[in-house]
Structure 1
Amino acid sequence: MTALLLVLLAVVSSGVNTSAQDSAAPIAKPSQSEPSAKRRTPQKARANDAERAAAETRGAAAGAITGRVVADDGHPLTNISVSFSKRGNLNMPGSVSAATDAEGKFRAENLYPGVYNAGVYVPGYTRVREPGVERGEPLYYRPGENVTITMTKGGVITGTVRNANGDPIVGAPIRAVFVRQPDGRTPRNPPSFFYGPPRASDDRGVYRIFGLEPGSYVVSVGGGGNDQFGGPFSPFAGEMPTYHPSATRDGAVEVAVQTGQEASGIDIRHRGEHGRAVSGKVSGLPESESDFNYSISVSLTHAASGIQENFTYLTGRMGDRSFSLDGVADGEYEVRARRSSRQGDTMASAPQRVTVRGADVTGLNLTLAPLASISGRVTLEAMREADRAASSCADSAPHAVSPPESLIVARREEKQADTATQSRAPSPTRSDAAPDAQGEFTIRALNAGRYRLEALPPGDEWYIRTITLSSAAAPSPKSGTRRAPAAQTTSNAARDTLLTLTTGQKFSGVNVVLADGAASLRGTIPADEGRPLGARMRVYLVPSERERDDDAFRYASSSVAADGSFALTHLAPGRYWPLITVADND
Structure 2
Amino acid sequence: MQADGADMRTRVLAASILASAGLVCAQPGGQSAGPARPAETVELRGRVLSGRRGVPVRGAKVAVTARERENVSAFTRFNGSFVIENAPVGDYEIGVAASGYELWQKRIRIPSGRPLDGLDLRINRSAVITGRVLDEDGRAVVGATVEALREQFLEGRLRWRDQSSRMTRFQGGFRTDDRGVYRIFGLSAGEYVIAVRPTEEPGLDGQLRFDTAPGYFPNAGSLSGAARVEVDWGEEKQGIDVRLVKAPPTSAHGRVSSPDARISCSPCRFEVYRWDGSAVRMVGSRSTTEQGSFSLFGLPPGQYVAVARLYDRRAGSQAFGRQPFAVSEGRVEAVEVEALAERDIVGRLVLVDPPDSVGDESGAWSSRIRLEADNLDPTETRPIRGMFAKVEGMGGEGPFELTAVPGRYRLIAFGPKGAYVEGIEIDGRPVPGSKLTVPRNGISGDVVVTMSFATGTVRGTVRELEDGESTGALLGKGGLLPPASTVRLLPAGEGPPAHPRLYGRVREGGFEITAVPPGEYEAFAFPDRAGYSIEDPRYRKKLARYGGKVEVKSGETAVLDLQALPTREQFGQEGLR
TM-score by length of 1: 0.51
The structure whose residues are more often strand, as a share, is 2
**CA distance in 2: counterparts of 1:440 and 1:176, whole angstroms:** 46
The change in CA–CA distance for 1:455 and 1:156 in structure 2 (over 3 A counts) is farther
The change in CA–CA distance for 1:336 and 1:185 in structure 2 (over 3 A counts) is same
Structure 2 counterpart of 1:574, one-letter code: E
The change in CA–CA distance for 1:353 and 1:378 in structure 2 (over 3 A counts) is same
Q: CA deviation at 1:160?
A: 0.9
Q: Specify the alignment match of 2:388 in structure 1.
A: 433
Q: Specify the alignment match of 2:320 in structure 1.
A: 348
Q: Specify the alignment match of 2:176 in structure 1.
A: 201
Q: CA deviation at 1:368?
A: 2.4
8 Å contact from structure 2 (residues 318, 383) kept in 1? no
**CA distance in 2: counterparts of 1:126 and 1:160, whole angstroms:** 22
The change in CA–CA distance for 1:446 and 1:284 in structure 2 (over 3 A counts) is closer
Structure 1 counterpart of 2:258, one-letter code: G
Structure 1 counterpart of 2:175, one-letter code: A
**CA distance in 1: counterparts of 2:336 and 2:155, whole angstroms:** 37
- Say which SS state the counterpart of residue 526 (structure 2) adopts: coil
The change in CA–CA distance for 1:357 and 1:328 in structure 2 (over 3 A counts) is same
8 Å contact from structure 1 (residues 339, 347) kept in 2? yes
Q: CA deviation at 1:496?
A: 5.5
The change in CA–CA distance for 1:285 and 1:265 in structure 2 (over 3 A counts) is farther
Note if 1:78 corresponds to 2:20. Answer: yes
Q: Specify the alignment match of 2:517 in structure 1.
A: 553
8 Å contact from structure 1 (residues 463, 517) kept in 2? yes
Q: Specify the alignment match of 1:218 in structure 2.
A: 193
Q: Deviations over 1:190-224 (max 9, x none)?
A: 88999863212356644222345777643233435
Query: What is the aligned-residue RMSD (CA, Å)?
Result: 6.2
Q: CA deviation at 1:340?
A: 4.7
Unaligned runs of 5+ in 1: 1-35, 37-66, 82-98, 108-120, 132-151, 389-397, 415-423, 475-482, 485-492, 544-550
- Say which SS state the counterpart of residue 390 (structure 2) adopts: coil
Q: Deviations over 1:141-195 (max 9, x none)?
A: xxxxxxxxxxx98954412114358967374433216451179974579889998
**In structure 2, which of residues 94, 107, 131 is the aligned counterpart of residue 160 of structure 1?**
131
The change in CA–CA distance for 1:437 and 1:100 in structure 2 (over 3 A counts) is farther
- State which structure, 1 or 2, has the greater radius of gyration over its C-alpha atoms: 2
8 Å contact from structure 1 (residues 80, 122) kept in 2? no
The change in CA–CA distance for 1:69 and 1:401 in structure 2 (over 3 A counts) is farther
Q: CA deviation at 1:321?
A: 1.0
Note if 1:308 corresponds to 2:273. Answer: no
8 Å contact from structure 2 (residues 456, 517) kept in 1? no
- Say which SS state the counterpart of residue 426 (structure 1) adopts: helix
**CA distance in 1: counterparts of 2:158 and 2:560, whole angstroms:** 27
Q: Specify the alignment match of 1:367 in structure 2.
A: 338
Q: Specify the alignment match of 1:139 in structure 2.
A: none
**CA distance in 2: counterparts of 1:264 and 1:401, whole angstroms:** 62
**In structure 2, which of residues 396, 412, 431 is the aligned counterpart of residue 454 of structure 1?**
412
The change in CA–CA distance for 1:233 and 1:500 in structure 2 (over 3 A counts) is closer
The change in CA–CA distance for 1:298 and 1:168 in structure 2 (over 3 A counts) is closer
Q: Specify the alignment match of 1:576 in structure 2.
A: 558
Q: Deviations over 1:8-53 (max 9, x none)?
A: xxxxxxxxxxxxxxxxxxxxxxxxxxxx9xxxxxxxxxxxxxxxxx
Structure 1 counterpart of 2:146, one-letter code: R
1:169-318 superposed matches below 5 A:
169=140, 171-176=142-147, 178=149, 180-181=151-152, 186-187=157-158, 197-202=172-177, 205-212=180-187, 217-223=192-198, 225-226=200-201, 237-253=210-226, 255=228, 262=235, 264-265=237-238, 267-275=240-248, 276-290=250-264, 292=266, 295-302=268-275, 304-314=277-287, 318=289
Q: Deviations over 1:460-492 (max 9, x none)?
A: xx2334444346x35xxxxxxxx24xxxxxxxx
8 Å contact from structure 2 (residues 206, 294) kept in 1? no
8 Å contact from structure 1 (residues 279, 324) kept in 2? yes
The change in CA–CA distance for 1:561 and 1:350 in structure 2 (over 3 A counts) is same
Q: CA deviation at 1:304?
A: 3.3
The alignment covers a number of residue pairs equal to 409
**CA distance in 2: counterparts of 1:296 and 1:233, whole angstroms:** 12
Unaligned runs of 5+ in 2: 1-8, 24-32, 36-60, 68-96, 108-122, 469-482, 494-514, 535-546, 566-574
**CA distance in 1: counterparts of 2:295 and 2:158, whole angstroms:** 29
**CA distance in 2: counterparts of 1:219 and 1:470, whole angstroms:** 47
Q: Specify the alignment match of 2:28 in structure 1.
A: none
- Say which SS state the counterpart of residue 140 (structure 2) adopts: coil
Q: Specify the alignment match of 1:469 in structure 2.
A: 424
Structure 1 counterpart of 2:380, one-letter code: S
**CA distance in 2: counterparts of 1:189 and 1:456, whole angstroms:** 31
Structure 1 counterpart of 2:272, one-letter code: S
Q: Deviations over 1:479-515 (max 9, x none)?
A: xxxx24xxxxxxxx9x664454433432642335376
- Say which SS state the counterpart of residue 418 (structure 2) adopts: strand
Q: Specify the alignment match of 2:72 in structure 1.
A: none
The change in CA–CA distance for 1:219 and 1:496 in structure 2 (over 3 A counts) is closer
The change in CA–CA distance for 1:212 and 1:435 in structure 2 (over 3 A counts) is farther
Q: CA deviation at 1:242?
A: 2.4
**CA distance in 1: counterparts of 2:144 and 2:21, whole angstroms:** 30
Note if 1:511 corresponds to 2:449. Answer: yes
Structure 1 counterpart of 2:556, one-letter code: G
Q: Deviations over 1:295-323 (max 9, x none)?
A: 332323225334233232336xx321111
Q: Deviations over 1:52-90 (max 9, x none)?
A: xxxxxxxxxxxxxxx997569x97862449xxxxxxxxx
8 Å contact from structure 1 (residues 453, 498) kept in 2? yes
**CA distance in 1: counterparts of 2:382 and 2:526, whole angstroms:** 23
Note if 1:408 corresponds to 2:381. Answer: no
1:60-209 superposed matches below 5 A:
70=13, 78-80=20-22, 156-163=127-134, 169=140, 171-176=142-147, 178=149, 180-181=151-152, 186-187=157-158, 197-202=172-177, 205-209=180-184
**CA distance in 1: counterparts of 2:234 and 2:350, whole angstroms:** 48
**CA distance in 2: counterparts of 1:526 and 1:211, whole angstroms:** 31
